[in-house]
Chain A
Amino acid sequence: MTVIVSARRRIRWTSWILGSGSVLAAAAFAWPFFVAAVPADAQVAVPIVAFALIPALIVALTLTLDREMYTAKTVALLGVLAAVGAAVRIAGAGMGGVEAVFVLLILAGRVYGARFGFLLGLLTIAVSSLLWGGFGPWTPFQMFACGWVGAGAGLLPHWPKATPTAPRTQPASTAQAPSQPAYGEPTQRWHLPRLNAQSRLTTGTRWRGSLEIVLLAVYGVVSSYLFGLMMNLWFWPFAVGSGTGISYTAGADAGQNLASFALYSLVTSTLTWDTVRAITTVVGISLVGPAVLAALRRARLGPR
């Protein structure tokens, strides 16, 4: 009994660390807006602090998650999926920057939970940067942003799977219980309806399946644009420099900076890269989503 209690406490601690770590990281991303709040002679240090904070947070969060991920199945899945993600990312860069990696992050995050999704995001960027040699100060920011995309997919709502018509027994109904112990995430332990030789695909389950795809596609669009905004935010002062209308001005009020940023973001990525990414993600999720979700669920991760 004590073991379970301590495990739960650890999970709660982990959640707390993950949550506050993410908030801190978000603040570091948004450093241009915090400069004004800092005394004038400390303002120069703000970007440096932000640049140091992100890698430090990555180390802290992976250290926190590492013990939890320390099972053969999780490590193996994390490794091969990161390889697939990196391959997709590099192949995409070859096809004119078509970013399809979100499809994998979202589907895997959905099935294996927020923590797995977060780590998969980190690792995918790390592996692809290793592979084509693109490491730099920007890598930690990309890692974090992709980690959030995967984590967000894991936090999307799960609806109860109570279909009285389907004679699915224990695994199906207990899987969605919100208070799944020990592993922290709502671990997906249900058997897909197709595995059940007796029960046909009822219209209910089919409808639910497409609802899930729609949900993930909508999330894909939202996360594509948010990802673009986040990545623009920290880089904006460096990208534009000073002396233009949309430049970041440390002394100006927040409203003016926000307007400048909005215009910068719109012309830089929102209308172009982010839209392409959103379309790719929606197309990808609707084309391969059902089959990939099924494949991931066949290899379900259980609690230790």
Chain B
Amino acid sequence: MFRLRLAPLLAAIVLAVGFVLLRVVYRVVFGGAGAGTGPVLLELPRLRLDGPFSHITLLGPITLVGLGNAALSALPVAAIIVFFGLLNAVINVQSLFARGAGRGPLRAISRSLVIAWATFPALLESVRHVRVARSLRGERSIASLLVPIFEQTIERALALAASMETRGFAATRVVTGVCEEPVVLRDVRLNFGAAPDKTGWHLDELNVTLKPGTLTVIVGATGSGKTSLLHSMSGLFQHFYDGVQTGTVNIGGADRASTPPRDTAGFVGLIAQNVRLGFTAETVHDEIGFALAVRNVTPSIVHARILQVAARLKIEHLVDRPIERLSAGEASLVAIAAAIVNHPILLLVDEPLADLDRAARDRVCTVLGQLAHEADVCVVIAEHNTKEFASIADAWLQIRGSQLHEVSAGEMQALSTAETLTPTPVAPRDFGTVPAVLLASIRRLSVRHRTSLVVDDVSFKVQAGELIALRGSNGAGKSSLLRAMALPTAADTVTVAGHDVHSLKRRTRRQAVALVPENFDDLLFAITVAEECRRANRTLAGADTAQTFAQLLGFDGVADAAHLLQRHPRDLSSGERLCLVIAIQLAARPALLLIDEPTRGLDLTSRALVSDALLKAASHSAAVIFATHDDDFARGLATRILRMEAGRLEVPIEVHS
């Protein structure tokens, strides 16, 4: 509650001094500094105003006593200002607010304050990202900075709201679940009604019964509705995303159509796709205990339960850590702990493995398997990384078209191996006729991030016409290398087509090298795709971004893509959005195009789309380099593969003969 912070005190002192000076100025200007009998310092003429202001006289003589009186008369108020500065310097008011969060008559407001507080680190982070993104796009307008940050903020608000809702925030009545039948779907049909942004998506004839102590995996392409199906069980589909459900969905005996997620928080746990976005508290302790705290459970009991759950997941060492200092794998485990703190009958998990490396994946899979088979929880997972679950899954449900099919483990095995072994067919390109022309050379490029060297003395050359894959595990420095190539910080490290990129101006730099970053959404800030394209066209005379966009998507011309051009960029699918950003970056006709992780989170169809787009992009620019940790994608597409390990480039392995 108490701490010492000098900044508020200093600010208050500055303010108080300013206040005293201001009052002296008022006295001088408005004829009040002439009091007393002392010597006159300055004899200014008196100016009398007229009309309604006739009682006011400006200027007049100034005496030392008058000035002193003015300053003295300001002291009480100045003292009050300094006094409050002192209070602010010593008292930590914020901790007072945090105490009231979640209970009492001001629970909504105080929870908002806690959320606001917890949002700041994320906000600073997104400012950093967006600033890089806009310099990559070569934009300098205010909108290009503020709009992406704002979009991210809103996205965070919605994820937060969903996570609070499923953990029982603002519940009005508590429903008790029936353990024997966690999930019963009978003749269910799901769609988005008349909502025009999700045109036509629907799932029909869903008949599913899931038993306690089982682990079920829902598979299907991106956009097929895995998440929507999962949320028809969590209740967010019906009560948060405005979905329409017909038929009966019974979750633990409660009718989903009439029971919002907040009322079933006692027996349904949900782990959302991006767990970090849904964190409501500042520490791991409060995050795990959230679902209990909003039910007004006594703090001592909450504390005991938190320790119990943490012990079960073996994350006791994390309990006192601030939430922003968790690694991706740790964050997933904390989210699982927060979801099972109520001992749910049903645990719903949305793409838990998306951002995790191998060790973290194994850990999460083991935990989920234990929950199902040892703690008798009914676990449902939506995921397209299917390999990891092969040993623990009891049933597989696949969405094909608008139907749900049960797939046996054997079929699934065949399916997933087929998925991994048939790379996207790519027509081999003929390089025999192209003479080797040196396009770009990277010389002794290093990137230092705080104390560690993330890119360590990398040098390589790029020939015109190459399509290079940059491979390496998480944290190998791929993204940092690409960013340093697009925005070099030192002279003579990156040379493209004879120009030192470091010395180029914003506009010409993008004609040499352009980067599509991993978080490519940050480059978008207009309200229609068409406007986005128009803005991009300004970068180079004669650019037709809409045309490029349509081409990348495999349309014949702009007319065929007209329905997409009127949409909001963020309503496009992620594959389409990536193509839009590639088109925008191609508008400057860069000699070298860099793309960071183009296949992250994409299914087979979108991957085919993107690999096709990359080939077309390669025909628009002289060479393309893309970073990926998708083996098959790299092998099927690249003319050369570069491997990175701990910031260093390994000896390149030639792929083409």
Contacts and interface: CB of A to CB of B under 8 A. Distances in A.
Interface of A: 62-63, 65-67, 69-84, 86-87, 119, 123, 126-127, 130-137, 168-171, 191-192, 194-198, 200-201, 238-247, 252, 255-256, 258-260, 263, 267, 284, 287-288, 290-292, 294-296, 298-299, 302
A295 B56 contact: no
Given A63-B106, A197-B567, 6 more contacts: A76-B115, A76-B161, A83-B120, A197-B566, A241-B73, A246-B26
A282 to B, nearest CB: 13
Contact of B154 (A133, A170, A191, A298): A298
B56 A296 contact: no
A294 B197 CA distance: 14
B97 A134 contact: no
11 contacts: A73-B157, A73-B158, A78-B115, A80-B157, A134-B11, A195-B196, A243-B35, A244-B27, A246-B56, A247-B30, A290-B527
A200 B528 CA distance: 11
Contacts of B8: 132-134
B113 A197 contact: no
A126 B114 CA distance: 12
Contacts of A73: 157-158, 161, 165, 240
A79 B115 CA distance: 5
Contact of A82 (B94, B113, B195): B113
B151 A295 contact: yes
Nearest to B563: A197
Contacts of B452: none
Contact of B23 (A133, A241, A258): A241
A79 B160 contact: yes
Given A83-B116, A244-B30, A287-B142, A294 B150 contact: no
A267 B53 CA distance: 14
A291 B527 contact: yes
B409 interface: no
A136 B31 contact: no
Contacts of B436: none
Nearest to A257: B55
B108 A195 contact: no
Interface in B118-138: 118-120, 123
Contacts of A135: 84, 87-88, 93
Interface in B1-31: 5, 7-8, 11, 19, 22-23, 26-27, 29-31
Contacts of B313: none
B656 interface: no
Given A244-B31, A288-B142, A79 B568 contact: no
A292 B147 contact: yes
A240 B23 contact: yes
Given A79-B112, A132-B11, A195-B571, A241 B164 contact: no
A69 B116 CA distance: 15
B523 to A, nearest CB: 14
Contact of B52 (A86, A170, A244, A255): A255
B117 interface: yes
Interface string B516-543: 0000000001111000000000000000
A244 B143 contact: no
B257 to A, nearest CB: 16
B435 interface: no
Q: Which 10 A-B pairs have the closest CB atoms?
A: A79-B115, A133-B8, A133-B88, A244-B32, A245-B56, A136-B84, A76-B161, A83-B119, A244-B30, A245-B30
Contacts of A134: 8, 11, 88
B194 A169 contact: yes
A84 B127 CA distance: 11
Contacts of A201: 528, 566
B107 interface: yes
A130 B150 contact: no
A260 B73 CA distance: 19
Contacts of A76: 115, 157-158, 160-161, 164
B345 to A, nearest CB: 22
A79 B119 contact: yes
A288 B143 contact: yes
Nearest to A289: B143
A246 B143 CA distance: 43
A217 B156 CA distance: 28
Given A72-B169, A72-B170, A170 B194 contact: yes
B328 interface: no
Contacts of B162: 72
Interface in B36-83: 52-53, 55-58, 69-70, 73-74, 77, 80-81
Nearest to B9: A133
B119 to A, nearest CB: 4
Contacts of A80: 115-116, 119, 153-154, 156-157, 160
Contact of A171 (B89, B107, B194): B194
Given A77-B161, A259-B56, A295-B151, A127 B81 contact: no
B432 interface: no
Interface string B564-588: 0011101100000000000000000
Contacts of A191: 195-197
Contacts of B657: none
Which of B55, B89, B563 is packed against the most chain A CB atoms within 10 Å?
B55
A84 B152 CA distance: 11
B192 to A, nearest CB: 11
B82 to A, nearest CB: 10
Q: Which of A76, A240, A292, A295 has the most CB of B within 10 A?
A: A76
Given A83-B120, A195-B568, A256-B55, A123 B113 contact: yes
B147 A288 contact: yes
Contact of A66 (B27, B106, B154): B106
Contacts of A240: 23, 26, 30
Nearest to B151: A295
A287 B108 contact: no
B141 interface: yes
A247 B105 contact: no
Contacts of A258: 52
A74 B240 CA distance: 12
A290 B115 CA distance: 26
A283 to B, nearest CB: 8
Contacts of B157: 73, 76-77, 79-81, 299
Contacts of B563: 197-198
A204 B262 CA distance: 41
A91 to B, nearest CB: 9
A66 B107 contact: yes
Contacts of B56: 245-246, 259-260, 263
A251 B56 CA distance: 16
B199 interface: yes
B196 A288 contact: no
Given A79-B115, A130-B93, A243-B69, A70 B107 contact: yes
